[in-house]
Amino acid sequence: MRRFTLFIAGLFLLGLFTAGMKPAHAAEGSELKGVTLTQLAPHVWMHTSTGMADGRPVPANGLLLDTSKGIVLIDTPWNDSLTEQLMTQINQQFPGKRMTDAIVTHAHDDRIGGLNTLYKYGVKVHSTKLTADFARKQGYARPLGDLKNVAKLQFGDMEMETFYPGKGHTEDNITVWLPQDKLLFGGCLIKSLETKEIVPTPGFYPDQWPRAVQKVMKRYQDISIVVPGHGSPGDGRLLPHTISLLKENK
C-alpha cells in the first residue's frame, strides 16, 4: 500500500524556500521501507535511499522520470534490496508502466549498487565507457558504455543531455540535464547547501574538481532546480557553493 509522508514533503518544501527556490510544483513524498519518492516536476521524482558508508548511514539521491515510453532511472539506490523496493514503488505509483532504461552517473555503490536488479528486469543501463569499465572491475555486469562526453538522449517525450565535465568527485562523474524542466542532476559532483565540507573519498580529484563544476556552470546557465547526489535540492547556487567548499578544504 502506498503511504504518503507529509512530514517529509514539508521538510522538502522548507528546504526549497531555504535555498531560495520557487517550488513551482508541489512536492509530495511517498515512502516504502527506506525508499522515498519526492516529486520535483510534473514527470520527475527524486528517489532517496540510505546506505552505509564508513560505518554511518548516508542518504543518496537519484531521479525517476515518467516518460511516454516508460520509466527512466537516473542512478540506482545503494543495493539490490533497496532497488527491488523501488521497483515495487514504481509498480504501485505507475501501474502499467515498466522501467525501460537507466543512466548511471559514476561507479560508486550509491549509483550502481542495484545494477543486478536492473538487469534482472531487462533494463538497459547506459553509462560512459569509463563507468562501464569501472563497474565491471567491481564485479558487476558491464553497462552499455554508450554515452560520449556529451550525449543528447530522447526517451519518449522527454529530452535529456548527459555531460562529462572532467575529473572531480570521481574520474568518471557525469551530470544529467532536463531542458524542459531546467533541472540539473549534479550527482556527487555537486554538493547541497547544507554540506559544510568536502569529505575525501577514494579516487577523488580535488585540484580538478572546481574546473569540472565551472564547465557545468558555463554549459547550463538557466537552471531552476539542482539535485545533488546527497542532501536537499536547491537552485543554481549549489554550483558556486561546491567550488567554495573545495577552496576551503584545500
Model pLDDT for residues 161-201, shown as the tens digit of each residue: 999 999 999 999 999 999 999 999 999 999 999 999 998 88
Extents of the domains making up the chain: 3-182
Contacts of 96 (CB under 8 A, 6+ apart): none
Average pLDDT over residues 197-218: 95
pTM of the model: 0.88
Q: List b or e across 170-195, with b for residues whose CB sees 16 or more CB atoms inside 10 angstroms.
A: bbbbbbbbbeebbbbbbbbbbbbbeb
Domain 3-182 class, CATH top level: alpha beta
Residue 208 has pLDDT above 50, yes or no: yes
Check pLDDT > 90 for residue 127.
Answer: yes
% of the chain beyond a pLDDT of 70: 86
**Which of the four pLDDT bands, split at 50, 70 and 90, describes residue 250?**
low
Q: Per-residue pLDDT for 248 more than 60? A: yes
Q: Is 94 helix (H, G, I), strand (E, B) or coil?
A: coil
Q: How far is CA 104 from the centre of its chain?
A: 8
Express each pLDDT in 79-123 by its tens digit: 999 999 999 999 999 999 999 999 999 999 999 999 999 999 999
